[in-house]
Chain A
Amino acid sequence: MDSGEALLRARAYESAGRPKEALNEIRRALAVDPEDPELLFYASRYATELDDHADAMGYAKTLVGVAPDLPLAHFQLGVVYLSINKVKEAEEAMRAAIGLDPQFDDAWAVLSIILTKRSRHKEALEAAETALAIDAENSTALNSRTVALNNLGRRVDAMDAAKMAARQLPDDTNTHQMMGWTALRSGRANDAMESFKEALRLDPTDQDAREGLLEALRGRFWPYRILLNYYFWMSRFGTQARWAIAIGITILPRALRGISAQYPQLGPFLLPLAAVVVIFIWTQWFLAPLINVSLLFHKLGRYALTKGQTANALCILVLLATTLVLSVGLLLAGRGTDAASAVAIVGAICLFCLGGLGTYSKTEGLLKWGSVAVLVIFELIQLVVFLGVMLRS
């Protein structure tokens, strides 16, 4: 089979939604003609689509090797780098593609995404707008422009951009997600929920849309909206600045207390401020997992939670229930407030661990089994305390 026919068949498989079969066609042709740039490009593209990053990278690098003057080669290499989150290399490749063909709208659009990931929002906006100047309907650029405007804090412009994108791409799940995030930034959780629902209707397997829906559901509670605004504000900065802010906020209460110790006359102003910051820090730690508990009873919320989040929320629910039952039981049995508060303190420590897991664990497995393990350990301690007090006549 010659490479022309293989390409035709591969494109046909692609149209039929079968990237795996498409890649197989290309691979067969590559066996005969291993340096055909077109074959290499599609091989890399289908491999990326199949999340086979190692192969995708191999094909893309070979492609750049055999056709270093082909803008598409550098573009594909950049796309592969982006898919494995190597943003620095991705930017270099994308700029190489643009250097060879300044009118390459897709390269500008993907560059915009890369720059957003590198927290260079102003440049990201410019790249998106350059892409749109070349092709006003470039879907990637339309969405990336909304993201950049949001990150620059230009909410009104972002909403306009999102609406424009939605008019041009009504069937694009990303566009509806951008609408959702933009609405959420403006504090309109219900609108955001509708947008994320629409995005999920278009592609129910989209994990980003599911996460968006989850944030929107939580955003219906005003304390969480404050937290969200803080996160959105943080997302404007680069990684290092974010760390600096987070650390700064953590040590701020101590600093405030230190100052008020030296200047007691400032105490009435600084100490309440310190308290607010402390509450805020704890909110960050606990709030999302606690709201997840309430989502267990929400029609959509139940499905928006991942398995790990559901397990974590269930553990918190069980903990709250048993802590309540045991401490009230002790009070009713006349065992005094000391015993009841001992049980409550054990519960609080457990909640601290579960909240931390819920907010910060990176993997589903850790979240699920970690939560279960923590719950079991602390429930046993609670039970020992309870029985110890009850049996001590």
Chain B
Amino acid sequence: MSVDPSVIAALRAALAADPENIGMRLHVGQLLLSANLAAEALAEATEVLNRQPTHAEGLKLAELAAEAAGDPIRANGYRRLREALGMASAQNLIESSLGSVPEPPAKAEPMRMTHRGGDEEEPEEDEGDIAGLRAVTSDITLSQVAGMKDVKQRLEMAFLAPMRNPDLRKLYKKSLKGGLLLYGPPGCGKTFLARAIAGELGSKFLSIGLTDVVDMYIGESEKNLHRVFELARRNKPCVLFIDEIDALGRKRSLMRNSGERNVVNQLLSEMDGVEADNEGVYVLGATNHPWDVDSALRRPGRFDRTVLVLPPDAPARAQILESAMEDRPVNKLDYQKLADQAEDFSGADLVHWADAASENAMADSIRTGTVRSVDMADFKQAKKDVKPSTRPWFETAKNFAVYANEGGTYDDLIAYLKSRRWM
């Protein structure tokens, strides 16, 4: 593809005026790359990475540019870094859009913890750390989570209020342990909600995800899991967040050998606090596959409450779109109207939609040589390529609600499906 040098020059001038505009810088890099100016593209990519070292598209661009510049070793380094970060950054993207605040700048304390040799330059040599895990405080609060009124209310009554009122807690003999299982379609902000809960409580937040779990399976799984809980206990009050809990607390009947079952058994006994007191440790689990979670995990004292996290409702959708378009040039966008057209969109879908619409406007600007704002027509155009991703989840979930609703596990879900006339 040939690129008009004047376009690049114009964009570079704009960039000089607004050096922090990462999106534009990336675009310039991409144009340079397609104009066969690999070295210059690589320089732009490096600029992006200086500002946001974990920027996925920045890494991708750097990888391609380094390759084109004839430096395969460097390209390979970027690729591996990008792959290692792939999941975490995808989550960040969704999460940052679900709150009404933009993503915290990269210099801030990393929220999600850090796998061995992952995104941190100097891993801390704290003795208690396992696989780079450490407890951090979260500065996001529930008020920054768009929508989810019912979920917040349930959380407040079940957990937050008793935690904030120690006297009442004592009076009613309510213990501060146990857990909450968040489930729902992918991309609807379960992870962000968990972080907001930790922020709300002013407690430490410890998070483990799929890769940590896999590391656990490879090492001495039971010991590793024990260390994670010990770390949480040392940092109490602490919220221990286990993302994709179905991977760790998988139904034992789905396991092929007994070694794997030990991990589940260990998780059960850690949650029971058999060897140590769990007072002050609250375990939050999140999953898209609640049906794969071992039912023993749902007994009292473990995940005794299950909360369905639904796709955002219309006001929340408007809020998500608005925050996704923040810092972008917009022209007469009616967020309410857009939100009304986006039923069943997950937070991630909405962000994707906003990105696609912005891309349209940008492509247009490049074609015509004049910068124009993103308008309703761009959203309309972009809608063709964006489909709500939550439907297939509900299709599967319906089957479980019909055939496997023992003990009313999925009553919330059934109520929702019925309210949508899907059941």
Could you tell me which A residues sit within 8 Å of B by CB distance?
Answer: 5, 8-9, 11-13, 15-18, 21, 171, 197, 200-202, 204-205, 300, 303
B contact residues around A11 at 8 Å (CB): 217
Check A16 against B291 for contact (C-beta < 8 Å): no
Count chain A CB atoms within 10 A of each CB in B213, B217, B246, B406 and give the residue with the most: B217
Taking CB as reference atom, which chain A residue is nearest B398? A303
B218 touches A204 (CB 8 A): no
Instruction: Give 7 pairs: A residue, B residue, CB < 8 Å, sorted on A.
Output: A8-B218, A12-B214, A15-B256, A21-B214, A197-B403, A200-B399, A202-B253
- Residues of chain B within 8 A (CB-CB) of A300 are 402
Structural contact, B403 and A204, CB atoms closer than 8 A:
yes
How many Å from the CB of B343 to the closest CB on chain A?
A: 20
10 A-B pairs besides A15-B260, A303-B398 with CB distance below 8 A are A15-B255, A15-B256, A16-B213, A200-B404, A201-B404, A202-B404, A204-B400, A204-B404, A205-B396, A205-B399
Closest chain-B Cβ to A361's Cβ sits at a distance in Å of 21
CA of A13 to CA of B246, assembled, Å: 12
Which residue, of B210, B289, B399, has the highest number of chain A Cβ atoms within 10 A?
Answer: B399
A300 to B218, CA, bound (A): 43
Contact of A17 among B254, B398, B399, B404 (CB under 8 A): B254
Q: Is the CB of B403 within 8 A of A9?
A: no
CA distance A331 to B406 in the complex (A): 53
Instruction: Quote the shortest CB–CB distance from B212 to chain A (angstroms).
Output: 11
Give the CA-CA distance A16 to B406 in the complex, in Å.
Answer: 23
With the chains together, A200 CA to B214 CA distance in Å?
30
Q: In the complex, which residues of chain B have a beta carbon less than 8 angstroms from the beta carbon of A171?
A: 253
9 shortest A-B CB distances, which residue pairs?
A: A16-B247, A12-B217, A204-B399, A171-B253, A200-B403, A204-B403, A12-B214, A15-B260, A303-B402
Residue pair A16, B403 in contact (C-beta under 8 Å): no
* Pairwise interchain contact B250-A15, C-beta atoms closer than 8 A: yes
- Evaluate contact between A12 and B403: CB separation under 8 angstroms: no
Report if B248 contacts A (CB, 8 A). Answer: yes
List chain A residues, Cβ under 8 A from B214.
Answer: 9, 12-13, 16, 21
How far apart are the CA atoms of A15 and B213 in the complex, in Å?
10
- On whether the beta carbons of B248 and A204 are closer than 8 Å, the reply is no
B292 on the interface (CB 8 Å rule)? Answer: yes
Quote the shortest CB–CB distance from A296 to chain B (angstroms).
Answer: 14
**How far apart are the CA atoms of A206 and B5 in the complex, in Å?**
58
Within 8 A of A (CB), among B341-384: none
Nearest-CB distance from A195 to chain B (Å)? 13
Closest chain-A Cβ to B296's Cβ sits at a distance in Å of 14
Most chain B CB within 10 A, of A12, A171, A202, is at A12
Q: How far is the CA of A17 from the CA of B217 in the complex (A)?
A: 13
CB distance from A233 to the nearest CB of B (A): 30
A13 to B210, CA, bound (A): 9
* Cβ 8 A contact of B247, one of A5, A18, A201, A204: A18
Given A201-B404, A204-B404, do A16 and B218 touch, yes or no (CB 8 Å)? no
Q: How far is the CB of B158 from chain A (nearest CB, A)?
A: 28
Please tell me which one of the listed residues A9, A18, A197, A202 contacts residue B218 in the complex, with CB atoms under 8 A apart: A9
Q: Give the complex CA separation of A13 and B400 in angstroms.
A: 23
